[in-house]
Amino acid sequence: MRKVKQICMLLALFTLIAGCARPSEQAEEPKLLLGFSQLGSESAWRIGNTRDIEQKAEEYGVSLMLENANQKQENQIAAIRRFIAYKVDVIAFSPIVEEGWDNVLMEAKNAGIPVILVDRDISTENEELTACLIGADFYSEGVQAARYLIRKADSLNMDQVNIVEITGTEDSTPMRQRQAGFMDTIKNDDRMKVMESVNGDFLKSRGAECMRYLLEKYGDDIDVIFSHNDEMTLGAIPEIEDAGYTPGKDVIIISIDGGQEAIDVLKEGRINCVVECTPMLGSKLMETALKLKNGQEVEKLIHPEEKVFSDEQDLSGIEPRGY
């Protein structure tokens, strides 16, 4: 009886193996192996960006090795080294800060693996280390935020505008560029005065902490909060309310990203302006990685198109944001 059972099992196994090998049912070979080092999960933006890259990899038939660095540069460097050892076809990563990548990128170059920068840029003397950058124009986002503020100050006939800035991660591209675009645009307007810039690291909890500190120090004098991302803005708003002020009325609030939660708060009038920064970079990443694998030329810099949402517009028609 035991023998019969064994034979049956063997037969079943054989049928299974034979079935798997049938060409019509064979899974398609992935077109490309892509190693992607995500920098962390600090915001709705980042989570939306990771999800989009995972979905687009599937759609494009790309096999994705995804590693999350949990906000630490050393984890990103280690991930890139693993991708090199694994001999992936293409490496992509979102650098948490701009400095400190030359050595590991030289290792990738020596291994003949092209590297795509996603979302953020690096600072290097050697332009050859990376193939291209796919990410938003952060400088322009800062300019858009400032232009909105200038229009708002005009419409309210303000003669002095006291601003506090809550910035993103120190030495990251969006922090540097958003600040530069904003400052360059307000600098010739005598009404504008930045009282203080504090670092909120793109985190909701830090946004709340920064706001508590700013309210304690400047209280009533604060006219405007320029916050480098939605997460920090959403952390700051309850603090403003707790201190007895009405966000959007007593204090003008300007944010960047455009995630669903911030857009809902904008519609309620508790944020005045949200400059869009889209995390949907997955399609461009897959297209570019496939081109690189096939030895084709790619554009050096790819910026997605972005909008500005504010209390100057009818906001009822905004499509669901997806992040």
CA 150/CA 136 separation, integer angstroms: 23
- Taking CB under 6 A as the criterion, the residue among 35, 42, 139, 179 binding ligand GYE is 42
Which of these segments, 37-45, 66-74, 103-111, 240-248, binds ligand GYE (CB under 6 A)? 37-45
User: Least separation, in Å, of the C-beta of 170 and ligand GYE?
Assistant: 13
* Residues in contact with ligand GYE, shown as a per-residue x/- string from 75 to 104 under the rule CB under 6 A: ------------------------------
Query: Which of 250, 67, 255, 57 is CA-nearest to residue 145?
Result: 255
In contact, 40 and 71? CB cutoff 8 Å = yes
Q: Pick the closer one to ligand GYE by CB: 48 or 247.
A: 48
Quick one: which H or E segment has residue 118?
strand 115-118
Strands 224-227 and 252-257: parallel
- Taking CB under 6 A as the criterion, the residue among 101, 202, 226, 323 binding ligand GYE is 202
Handedness of CA 194, 199, 202, 204 (dihedral sign): negative
Q: Pick the closer one to ligand GYE by CB: 209 or 231.
A: 231
The answer to whether residue 229 forms part of the interface with ligand GYE (CB under 6 A) is yes
Which of these segments, 2-10, 42-50, 74-82, 215-223, binds ligand GYE (CB under 6 A)? 42-50
Q: Pick the closer one to ligand GYE by CB: 162 or 172.
A: 172
CA 252/CA 255 separation, integer angstroms: 10
In contact, 64 and 57? CB cutoff 8 Å = yes
User: Least separation, in Å, of the C-beta of 202 and ligand GYE?
Assistant: 4
Query: Which of 126, 96, 135, 134 is CA-nearest to residue 108?
Result: 126
Q: Pick the closer one to ligand GYE by CB: 44 or 84.
A: 44
User: Least separation, in Å, of the C-beta of 257 and ligand GYE?
Assistant: 5
CA 209/CA 166 separation, integer angstroms: 10
In contact, 253 and 311? CB cutoff 8 Å = no
Strands 192-199 and 161-167: parallel
The answer to whether residue 119 forms part of the interface with ligand GYE (CB under 6 A) is yes
The answer to whether residue 56 forms part of the interface with ligand GYE (CB under 6 A) is no
Q: CB under 8 Å to 277, separation ≥6 — which residues?
A: 45, 136, 138, 141, 174, 256, 257, 258, 306
Q: CB under 8 Å to 161, separation ≥6 — which residues?
A: 149, 153, 191, 192, 193, 223, 224
- Taking CB under 6 A as the criterion, the residue among 114, 174, 258, 282 binding ligand GYE is 174
* Residues in contact with ligand GYE, shown as a per-residue x/- string from 242 to 281 under the rule CB under 6 A: --------------xx-------------------x----
User: Least separation, in Å, of the C-beta of 57 and ligand GYE?
Assistant: 20
Which of these segments, 40-48, 100-108, 265-273, 286-294, binds ligand GYE (CB under 6 A)? 40-48
User: Least separation, in Å, of the C-beta of 41 and ligand GYE?
Assistant: 9
Residues 16-35 that bind ligand GYE (CB under 6 A): none
Interface residues toward ligand GYE, by CB under 6 A:
42-43, 45-46, 119-120, 136, 174, 202, 229, 231, 256-257, 277
